[in-house]
Amino acid sequence: MPAGPKVEPRILREGLRVLWVAIRAEPRVFALAVTASALYAAMTVASAWVLGWATEQVVLPALRQGRAGAGALAAAALAIVGVAVLKALGVAGRRFYAGLMQYRMQARYRRAVTRQYLRLPLAWHHRHPTGQLLSNANADVEAAWAPLAPLPMAVGVAFMLLVAAVSILAVDVPVALVGFCVFPAIALLNVVYQRRLSPLAARAQQLRAEVSEVAHESFEGALVVKTLGRERAETERFTDRARRLRDANVAVGRVRGMFDPLLEALPTLGVLAVLLVGSVRLESGALNAGDLVGVSYLFTLLAWPIRALGWVLAEIPRSVVGWQRVREVLDASGSLPYGEHPLDGEGPAGLQVERVRFAYAGAEDGARVLHDVSLSVEPGRTIAVVGPTGSGKSTLTSLLVRLVDPDEGTVLLDGIDARRAARGAVAATAALVPQQTFLFDDTVRGNVTLGADIPDERIWQALRLAQADGFVAALPEGLDTRVGERGATLSGGQRQRLALARALVRRPRLLVLDDATSSVDPQVEARILQGLRAAQDAGAGATVIVVAYRKATIALADEVVYLERGRVVDRGAHAELLERCAGYRELVNAYERAEAERRAAHGEEVTA
């Protein structure tokens, strides 16, 4: 962001608009913070007046007479202590309410950003790196409301300057005019300060997001990095971003380090000028000693509060950048529309897919993943979806549970277009167990229930159906055993079975398994599918769509749908497709040969 006289006023205007958003959102808290700041400002001026009064009425008479009256000393002490107490109350109130306002706004917009993430479709998330989204919800929200901490003090400083100006003018106009020369000098210095700092602060804020993005990718891809020996390259990539951020922060620090001493020196120079002119006025009799002490002391007190104006101005560039990045998320379009139709039927759900077409955002023209896909599944049936890599199987499963909507065509559950279903209805009806298993750093119970109030009996029932009850019972604390980050203490097959139990415990009417048992032993996988079939036969199961490769698994399905290049090439019973579909036969047999070779290499018994 280039610096210059045309840029800075725009940044300042945008920054003031951001602050106005916070003031409108928290008017009472802001009013209390400003009131406390005004009390502090008034007592700051009053402390100078009290010191001047005590000098003129108590200290100088005592020096001339050689003693001080007890009443005068008590009055001076009470006045000084009273002003100090009120000033302390102003400081405490200002800091408390300013902090309360800042943290409330941060919490409000972190919730808003997070809710927006949940509302936005999966297609939007595909276009935005996770590290950037984390930065939006954390660093950018924090930066947007950073000026709120010094803002009430800055408002109080404006009040303080007004009161101080009136007080100093009432004492002596020539002294006041000399002292007032400090204020435009400080204002000019702050303008120069902001112009130098604005582009540097904006750059540093952008680099924070980039460092967060690279760090998140590195941690997420740790297994890939280590197995492919890319530690050095990944370290260099992170180091490059970190060094850029370091250099940007150092540049910001240099500017602050250059201007801070000047901001400290100007009020001190003003005090010296006031003392010089004031001593001349004192000798001429136009000014008494108490007034001169009070005015000089007031200028020393004004030095630090005036810097609050500079703090607000210094934070505004970061605030504007953070706010713009947050607004990009909040203003993002593409959220899934909802209707009013409930999906509260009983038993397995019926499913129809009618001429569905889909392409991911950013794909080249004609690069569709699905082309006119149609299929109908009767309630309680088990359908196996089979196809080579890239044929659109996972995309189809995402459409069935409405993670995304098709570009054309419809997906119907119980005859109702999923786009017309009420919010949450599809999630309550259908459950997806994806290829990539994710477990939270929580207990087994927490990973299965995800915080829902589900009795243990129902949890164990789901675990038995997922063939996970045996290893869970053997864990040190059973359901209350923590599984580590991403289930690090469990094997791949165990993680997949817990993910399946997570879906089953909700008793979905449509269960979609996207290669969800690839890490599970074939015999265990067969028992899982047989258990699902038994539940279907008992009338308590779900309609099951399973993406599968193993011949034994496919054979358990009522029907097989074979996909190639996003199209339904054939469908029918497993045996029928083996006879008439060469692509299907070649794919299934190739997988069986690869599986047999793998098991033979590991010394496992090869079964037919």
- What pLDDT is recorded for position 343? 77
Mean pLDDT of 187-209: 73
| Helices and strands per DSSP (H, E), number in the chain | 23, 10
CA distance 548 to 517: 9
- What is the predicted pLDDT for the residue at 307? 63
**pLDDT at 96 (0 to 100):** 93
Residues 6+ away with beta carbon under 8 Å from 234: 218, 221, 225
Looking at this protein, which amino acid is placed at residue 42?
A
- Find the range with the poorest average confidence among 47-51, 85-89, 328-332, 504-508: 47-51
Contact residues for 574 (Cβ-Cβ < 8 A; gap 6+) = 384, 551, 554, 555, 557, 560
Q: What is the largest CA-CA distance in the chain?
A: 123
Q: What is residue 361's predicted lDDT score, i.e. its pLDDT?
A: 67
Main-chain dihedrals φ then ψ at residue 13, nearest 5 degrees: -65, -45
| pLDDT band for position 423 (cuts 50, 70, 90) | confident
d(CA 555, CA 384) in angstroms, rounded, equals 9
432 pLDDT higher than 60: yes
User: d(Cα 377, Cα 382) in Å, to the nearest integer?
Assistant: 8
Is the per-residue pLDDT at 553 higher than 60? yes
- The three-state secondary structure class of 441 is coil
Which residues have C-beta within 8 Å of that of residue 86, sequence separation ≥ 6? Answer: 39, 43, 46
DSSP conformation letters of 319-341 = HHHHHHHHHHHHT---PPP--SB
Strand 543-547 relative to strand 510-514, pairing: parallel
Angle at 582 between CA 581 and CA 588, to 5 degrees: 90
> What domains lie within the chain, and their CATH numbers?
8-330 (1.20.1560.10), 351-601 (3.40.50.300)
CB atoms within 10 A of CB 449: 22
Nearest Cα residue to 307 out of 197, 201, 202, 187: 187
pLDDT at 418 over 90: no
**Could you tell me the two tokens for 564?**
């190639």
* 173-180 vs 231-283: helix crossing angle, rounded to 10: 160
Q: CA angle at residue 556 from 551 to 562, to 5 degrees?
A: 60
Q: Report pLDDT for 109.
A: 92
Neighbours of 109 (CB within 10 A): 26
475: three-class secondary structure by DSSP? coil
Report the pLDDT value the prediction gives residue 605, as an integer from 0 to 100: 47
CB contact at 8 A, 389 and 518? no
- CB count, 10 Å around CB of 188? 11
pLDDT top residue among 101 and 60: 101
What percent of the chain has a predicted confidence (pLDDT) above 90?
4
The rounded mean pLDDT for the chain is 78
Q: Of 221-230, 271-280, 533-542, give the range with the top mean pLDDT.
A: 271-280
Comparison of pLDDT for 512 and 525, the residue scoring more: 512
Rounded Cα distance between 355 and 545, Å, is 18
Nearest to 587 by CA among 391, 370, 368, 375: 391
CA 445 from chain centre, in angstroms, equals: 26
| Cα distance between residue 254 and residue 252, in whole Å | 5
User: Mind spelling out the 3-state secondary structure of 79-139?
Assistant: HHHHHHHHHHHHHHHHHHHHHHHHHHHHHHHHHHHHHHHHHCCHHHHHCCCHHHHHHHHHH
Q: Which of 111-115, 193-197, 602-606 holds the top average pLDDT? A: 111-115
d(CA 159, CA 170): 17
**Cβ proximity of 460 and 445 under 8 Å:** no
574 has pLDDT over 70? yes
pLDDT in tens, 3-27: 333 335 677 788 888 889 989 999 9
Q: Residue 87 corresponds to which tokens in the numbers above?
A: 């000033």
User: Considering just the CA atoms, what is the radius of gyration of the chain in Å?
Assistant: 36
Q: What is the spatial distance between Cα 57 and Cα 63, in angstroms, rounded to a whole number?
A: 11
Q: Quick one: pLDDT at residue 603?
A: 55
> Which residue's structure tokens are 């079975």?
497
Distance CA 33, CA 67 (A): 44
